[in-house]
């Protein structure tokens, strides 16, 4: 990730999808396109919305029964629909004025995303080296006994003398 981010940042190139550039687009505003957009949006948002949905509705269904779970499902759907509706109406009303400022930011999007890619890579390397224990493993330090050996008074479940 770090190398890819550096390459993108230094060469000013972008990772584009070749297939996406060749896809035919029908820009007409009609009911069929709106329905298709809704389906694509629903599928794309599953990775974000499904875990929350399952936690909220599934938890209620398991602890309070079918009727309360159905009630929770309806409130969840109403909340999500309200957010989408407000954003859609806001985008339609403010379209001319809102469409100007993203165009001014477009040249910087690739550079900023490359920096985020570098940051994510640095974070992953740091995490696995220090928090994940790879450095300590390479040095022969057993993290399971680190608390016990530090003398902080905590019992070590892996030591026989605890």
The set of residues, in sequence order, having a beta carbon less than 8 Å from that of 110 and lying 6+ positions away, is 8, 12, 13, 14
Q: What is the pLDDT of residue 12?
A: 83
pLDDT digits (tens, 9 = 90+) for 123-155: 998 888 777 667 676 676 665 555 455 555 555
Q: What is the pLDDT of residue 19?
A: 52
Q: What is the pLDDT of residue 25?
A: 66
| CB 115, CB 8: distance < 8 Å | no
Cβ neighbourhood burial of 55 (10 Å; 0-12, 13-18, 19+): exposed
pLDDT digits (tens, 9 = 90+) for 97-112: 777 777 788 778 888 9
Cα(89)–Cα(97) distance, rounded to whole angstroms? 14
Q: What is the pLDDT of residue 70?
A: 92
Helices (H), 94-133: 95-98, 100-126
Read off the pLDDT of each residue in 10-26 and give the average, rounded to a whole number: 69
Q: Rg of the chain's alpha carbons, rounded to an integer?
A: 25
pLDDT digits (tens, 9 = 90+) for 33-81: 888 888 888 888 888 888 888 898 888 988 999 999 999 999 998 998 8
């Amino acid at each position: 990730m770090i190398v890819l981010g550096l390459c993108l940042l230094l060469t000013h190139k972008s990772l584009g999808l070749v297939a996406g550039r060749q896809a035919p687009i029908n820009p007409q505003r009609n009911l069929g396109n709106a329905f298709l957009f809704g389906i694509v949006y629903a599928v794309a948002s599953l990775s974000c919305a499904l875990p929350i949905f399952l936690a909220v509705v599934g938890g209620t269904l398991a602890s309070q029964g079918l009727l309360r779970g159905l009630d929770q499902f309806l409130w969840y759907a109403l909340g999500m629909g309200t957010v989408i509706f407000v954003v859609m109406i806001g985008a339609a009303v403010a379209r001319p004025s809102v469409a100007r400022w993203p165009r001014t930011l477009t040249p910087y999007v690739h550079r900023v995303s490359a920096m985020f890619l570098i940051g994510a890579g640095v974070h992953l390397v740091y995490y696995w080296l220090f928090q994940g224990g790879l450095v300590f493993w390479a040095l022969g330090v057993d993290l399971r006994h680190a608390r016990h050996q530090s003398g902080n008074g905590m019992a070590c479940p892996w030591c026989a003398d605890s």
